[in-house]
Structure 1
Amino acid sequence: MKLSFIFSCAVAFLATSSLVQADALQDEIDAAMKKFCGGIQVTAPAQNKVFSNPKKVQVTVTRKPDAQAKVINGIDIYAVDGKGKLQYLGTPWKGSYALNKKATMTVDITKIQGIKLPSQFEFRVWVHNKAGPDCTLYTKVFKVKSSSHSNAAEEEALNNMDTNIDRGCFGVDILQPALGGHQKAGQSYGVQIQRDSASQVESYKSLELYKVDLSTRQPVKVQDSWSGNEIVHQMFNVKDLVSKTDGDKFAYFYKLTGFTQHEETCEFYSHPFYIDA
Structure 2
Amino acid sequence: MSYSNSKYIIVFLIVCLLVNTFVDSVAIPQELEERSDIFAKLCGGFKFVSPKAGTKIKNGNTIEFKWTKNKDVELYRVLDVELYTQKGLVQVLWSKGVNFTGTSCSAKVKVSVPSGTKLPATFLFKCWGSTKSGPQCTSVSGNFTITK
Under TM normalisation by the shorter chain, which class is it? 0.7 to 0.9
The Cα shift of 1:59 comes to 1.9
Q: Does 1:117 align with 2:123?
A: no
> How many aligned positions are there?
136
**SS of alignment partner, residue 7 of structure 1:** helix
Q: 1:115 to 1:33 in 2, by over 3 A?
A: farther
**SS of alignment partner, residue 135 of structure 2:** coil
* TM-score between both structures, scaled by the size of structure 2: 0.72
How much identity, in percent, do the aligned residues show?
Answer: 21
**Whole-Å separation in 2 of the counterparts to 1:109 and 1:116:** 15
Amino acid in structure 2 at the alignment position of 1:9:
L
1:58 and 1:105 in contact (8 A); partners too: yes
In structure 2, list runs of 5 or more residues that go unmatched: 1-6
**Whole-Å separation in 2 of the counterparts to 1:93 and 1:132:** 21
Q: 1:90 to 1:63 in 2, by over 3 A?
A: same
Q: 1:76 aligns with which of 82, 87, 103?
A: 82
**Whole-Å separation in 2 of the counterparts to 1:77 and 1:17:** 46
| Equivalent residue, structure 2, for 1:104 | 106
RMSD, aligned CA = 2.9
1:54 and 1:144 in contact (8 A); partners too: no
Q: 1:16 to 1:77 in 2, by over 3 A?
A: farther
| Equivalent residue, structure 1, for 2:20 | 12
The Cα shift of 1:16 comes to 4.2
**Whole-Å separation in 2 of the counterparts to 1:112 and 1:28:** 42
**SS of alignment partner, residue 60 of structure 2:** coil
In structure 1, list runs of 5 or more residues that go unmatched: 81-85, 147-277
The Cα shift of 1:124 comes to 1.0
**Larger Rg over CA atoms:** 2
Whose RCO is larger (CA < 8 A, sep 6+)?
A: 2
**Whole-Å separation in 2 of the counterparts to 1:12 and 1:64:** 42
**Residues 17-166 of structure 1: pairs in structure 2 closer than 5 A:** 28-66=34-72, 68=74, 70-80=76-86, 86-100=87-101, 101-110=103-112, 112=114, 114-146=116-148
Amino acid in structure 2 at the alignment position of 1:110:
S
Cα-to-partner distance string for 1:18-40 (whole Å, 9 max, x where unaligned): 9x98xxx8x64332211111133
**Whole-Å separation in 2 of the counterparts to 1:95 and 1:73:** 7
**SS of alignment partner, residue 117 of structure 1:** coil
Q: 1:114 to 1:129 in 2, by over 3 A?
A: farther
Amino acid in structure 1 at the alignment position of 2:98:
Y
**Whole-Å separation in 2 of the counterparts to 1:15 and 1:140:** 43
**Whole-Å separation in 2 of the counterparts to 1:141 and 1:111:** 15
